[in-house]
Amino acid sequence: MTVSVAVAAVGWKFFILYIVIDAVGAVVVYFFFIETHGYNLEEIDRIFEAANPVKESLKKEKVLIVGAGD
C-alpha cells in the first residue's frame, strides 16, 4: 500500500531502493549462504550441526570403489 504513495511522491527514483535492496540481498546470499545442492538430507544435517558449517560443506570426501561383488 505504501508503494503507490512513494511513487506518487518521488516518482521513478523510488525503484532505485528496490534495486539496491535486491543487490545487497544477492551479495549476502552469495557469500553467506551454505551450498546444499547435491547433498542428501543426512549430509545436510551433518553440515548444519558442524561447528563451522561453511568448512564442513566444502570438505571433500574420498570414495573407494571396489570391483563388482566385493
**Number of domains the chain is built from:** 1
Select from 44, 43, 42 the least CA-distant residue to 33: 44
Q: Is the pLDDT of residue 69 over 70?
A: no
In a domain, 69, yes or no: no
User: What are the pLDDT digits (tens) for 55-64?
Assistant: 888 887 777 7
User: What are the pLDDT digits (tens) for 36-57?
Assistant: 778 889 888 988 899 988 888 8
Residue 17 phi/psi, 5-degree rounding, is -60, -45
In a domain, 53, yes or no: yes
In a domain, 49, yes or no: yes
Distance in angstroms (rounded) separating the CA atoms of residues 26 and 34: 14
Count Cβ atoms within 10 A of the Cβ of residue 67 and give its class: 0-12 exposed, 13-18 middle, 19 or more buried: exposed
> What is the pLDDT at residue 20?
95
Q: Please say whether the beta carbons of 34 and 53 come within 8 A.
A: yes
